[in-house]
Amino acid sequence: MELVCPAGGLPALKAAVDNGADWVYLGLRDSTNARNFAGLNFDEAALAAGVAYAHARRRKVLLALNTYPQAATWARWTQAVDLAAAKGVDAIIVADLGLLDYAHRTHPKLKLHLSVQGSATSHEAINFYHQRFGVRRAVLPRVLSLAQVENVVRHTPVEIEVFGFGGLCVMVEGRCALSAYACGDSPNTMGACSPGHAVRWEETPAGLESRLNRVLIDRYAPGERAAYPTLCKGRFEAEGATYYAIEEPASLNTIEMLPEFLRMGVRAVKIEGRQRSPAYVAQVTKVWRQAIDSLTRDAERFRPTPEWMAALNRHAEGSQQTLGAFSRPWK
């Protein structure tokens, strides 16, 4: 089983490689990827340096080109595909049908991974991408239970990658316009969700308030721990109750499911967090490397250690962890 880790810059890429990532995924400094944040990501020189660093250590690099291009800026995406091929990137992560078609026709040797933004949740959908574009691997949206993941793996020749740890999208990726609705920044077309520029914090007599483009996402009493106002993780009122109506500020952590993933033939686990620090990448990668190595040595006796869980908990959103949709009761 392979470990796929995030890098928002060269220091994070090195941290991922040095701590045992098999693959490192990254994006360019523009809207061609789903973590289009100021100060983050790679220019051409950094990409070349990152590929060289990883390849010298026999690790692989993935370029995420997983947003949906529009006509006026189409060339930005195709040039990014060309760049990936020219710089020796090992595979690209793509969601858009037109861009998959372009990459498949223009660079037949460039390996294609279907992005989670492609929203493919059935083997019928995944096999379609395989037949039409030769997609080698698909990343599953965080909506399927373990049994449903197993059913997909059984019915496709495409390698399946699942999310292992990090920020949790509650909605089907590629099918969520909540951020676009509230503040105009669309994950699909602009690569951003609940972006920093739309966030306002304000101390008020009612408490500390977080807003996203004027919409009140949450309000905190003195002593309450405030979380970043990702809009699906705020507290709202429905039918007379005020609560985390969509999801608590929590991170996905599936480390205890690794033996199940291995048994059912999941090819890779992915760590979320290109927007996180090199220290996060180093520590989370290290724990997951140890876990996968332990699993490979003896799957029967695999148990997550308290040290791993404590280390991961330090990096979890709101210090809360969940199994998400992999566990049926979550739904």
Residues making contact with another protein (CB under 8 A): 68-72, 74, 95-99, 101-102, 117-122, 124-125, 127-129, 142-145, 147-148, 151, 170-172, 174-178, 180-184, 186, 188-189, 213, 215-219, 235-239, 241-242, 245-247, 325, 328-331
> Measured from the CB atom, is 119 or 321 closer to another protein?
119
> Measured from the CB atom, is 12 or 217 closer to another protein?
217
Count CB atoms within 10 A of the CB of residue 324.
Answer: 22
CB of 299 to another protein, least distance (A): 26
State residue 6 phi and psi, 5-degree precision: -90, 150
Instruction: Please report which helix (H) or strand (E) contains residue 220, including its range.
Output: strand 215-220
Identify the residue whose tokens are 């291995």: 262
Q: Please, what is the Cα angle at 34 between 6 and 55, to 5 degrees?
A: 35
Tokens read off for 154: 């059984």
Identify the residue whose tokens are 């990090």: 166
Contact 23, 8 (CB under 8 A): no
Tokens read off for 111: 């390996």
> Measured from the CB atom, is 61 or 170 closer to another protein?
170
CB of 150 to another protein, least distance (A): 10
> Measured from the CB atom, is 145 or 283 closer to another protein?
145
Contact 322, 250 (CB under 8 A): yes
> Measured from the CB atom, is 24 or 95 closer to another protein?
95
CB of 15 to another protein, least distance (A): 32
CB of 104 to another protein, least distance (A): 11
CB of 83 to another protein, least distance (A): 18
